[in-house]
Amino acid sequence: MDNINKLKIFIIPGIVIFSDQVTKFIVKKYLVLGESIKVMGSTVCFTYIENEGMAFGIKVGNIAIFTFLSLIVTIFIFYYLYKIREKRFIYRFPFSLILGGAFGNLIDRIILGRVVDFVDVNIPDISIPSLDLFIFNTPKFELYRWPIFNLADTAITVGMIILLIIFCFDKEFLEAEKVVK
């Protein structure tokens, strides 16, 4: 019974995958590719696009190789999540979000050859000039259009943010990782 409780963490990726695929199905059923509908004025819209690249529209050279690598990474995350099933929930939770998001987008890549994206958030333009800080020179950064994304991308991003917070601030986790290695 105890092992069953520790494997309940796999419910979270299931919820992410289900929610992601249902919302993508609804978007494909009710919107035409490129169509946009306002949800919260012009701040949040649902805009149906299909992304052949990585997250945020980053282009990839060979989609078949990228899909294969995505499959390998998804299998690895599943294995790692199973391996850490004894750890506290807070350590398993971000990996469960990442697994669900990765698998949700992988389904699209395998079936469609691209990923359905639809959440379109209009954020204010961001422009950070290059800076000279002592011996470091930071490049100029500009973002005039936030990339359209989906629920799987959101799960992956939230999971990564939680992991970064854990890695930076949780001394117990860092000490446990030193023992494991």
Quote the pLDDT of residue 144: 73
User: In the predicted model, what is the mean pLDDT of residues 44-57?
Assistant: 84
The region of weakest confidence among 17-21, 56-60, 74-78, 147-151 is: 56-60
pLDDT in the model for residue 55: 67
Please check the confidence at residue 157 and state whether its pLDDT lies above 60: yes
Q: What is the pLDDT of residues 8-36, one digit of tens each?
A: 889 999 999 999 999 999 999 999 999 99
Report the mean per-residue pLDDT for the chain.
87
Q: Which of 122, 112, 158 is nearest to 16 (CA)?
A: 158
Q: Are strands 141-143 and 126-128 parallel, antiparallel or unpaired?
A: antiparallel
Catalytically annotated residue among 20, 108, 120, 153: 153
Report the pLDDT value the prediction gives residue 64, as an integer from 0 to 100: 84
- Is residue 170 packed enough to be buried (19+ CB in 10 Å), middle (13-18) or exposed (0-12)? middle
- Which DSSP state fits 149? B
Largest CA distance in the chain: 58
Per-residue model confidence (pLDDT) at position 125 = 75
The residue ranking higher by pLDDT, 84 or 178, is: 84
Q: Which of 20, 108, 117, 120 is catalytic?
A: 117
Look at residue 177 in the predicted model and tell me its pLDDT: 58
Run of H or E including 11: helix 11-30
| Residues ≥6 apart with Cβ < 8 Å to 160 | 94, 98
Phi, psi torsion values for 125, nearest 5 degrees? -60, 145
pLDDT of residue 50: 94
What confidence tier does 135 reach under pLDDT thresholds 50, 70, 90? confident
* Predicted pLDDT of residue 122: 86
Residue the block writes with tokens 């299998």: 75
Specify whether 20 is catalytic: no
Torsion of CA 58, 124, 168, 100, to 10 degrees: -50
Question: In the predicted model, is pLDDT for residue 179 greater than 60?
Answer: no
The model's confidence at residue 145, banded by pLDDT at 50, 70 and 90, is confident
| Residue 120: active-site member | no
Question: What confidence score (pLDDT) does residue 115 get?
Answer: 95
| Residue 134: φ, ψ to 5° | 55, -110
End-to-end alpha carbon distance in the chain: 29
DSSP H helix total and E strand total for the chain: 6, 7
State the SS3 of 70-137.
HHHHHHHHHHHHHHCCCCCHHHHHHHHHHHHHHHHHHHHHHHHCCEEEEEEECCCCEEECCEEECCEE
pLDDT of residue 21: 98
Whole-model pTM? 0.82
- Tell me the C-alpha distance between 150 and 143, whole Å: 19
